[in-house]
Structure 1
């Protein structure tokens, strides 16, 4: 398989509403906000998440951080808290910024983290 990024567009209609989901392959997810997201004085129109650059050390750091806060992820592929922290590391932003996003944006980003976990053999 080549190293180039391939786009896969999926369109679905639910109750008359069209949803367009764009996914990037090879461990990189590019998220485009429906409308700019502002957090602590910064405006974001897109964010890049480099899941392919994460290491085992990052996974352990996420688990340690969660344990320090009294949270546990028995199955990271279904834990939104774990996926949020993983995406934050991959996107070089704070988990608090992700948690402050509108729910549809948060869900798309954490779903990309989940999809990466599953595709990488977790």
Structure 2
């Protein structure tokens, strides 16, 4: 299994579908343009940070781009699962 597949502790329901995991392996194929677009999206959302890549909001944007799932999928995750996503995204961006 890929290091970018995040297993949920318990099934997560989103828009009538149940998920046991989310695959973020698309993060490896993101381009610098994707990161620039994520910065713009983060800034226009009203969020602010000294280092965008250290925030939960920015991690949700990157996870959305990597997985093809809407950002709302990640914003609605239980906090513990959201932190798993944030840590995996931050680990990749700061490697």
Same fold (TM over 0.5): yes
1:63–1:72: 8 Å Cα contact kept in structure 2?
no
Larger Rg: 1
Tell me: higher relative CO, structure 1 or 2? Use CA pairs within 8 A at least 6 residues apart: 2
Q: Which runs of 4+ in 1 moved over 3 A?
A: none
Q: Could you tell me which residue of structure 1 aligns to residue 85 of structure 2? A: 109
Whole-Å Cα distance in 2 between the matches of residues 78 and 106 of structure 1?
13
RMSD of the alignment, in Å?
1.6
Q: Could you tell me which residue of structure 2 aligns to residue 39 of structure 1? A: 14
> What CA deviation, in whole Å up to 9, does each residue of 1:34-90 have, x standing for no partner?
111101111111211021011111111111112222223431331211111111111
User: 5+ unaligned residues in a row in structure 1: which ranges?
Assistant: 7-23
Q: Could you tell me which residue of structure 1 aligns to residue 31 of structure 2? A: 55
The structure whose residues are more often helix, as a share, is: 2
Whole-Å Cα distance in 2 between the matches of residues 53 and 76 of structure 1?
20
TM-score relative to the length of structure 1: 0.70
TM-score relative to the length of structure 2: 0.88
The structure whose residues are more often strand, as a share, is: 1
Aligned with residue 42 of structure 2, among 47, 50, 66: 66
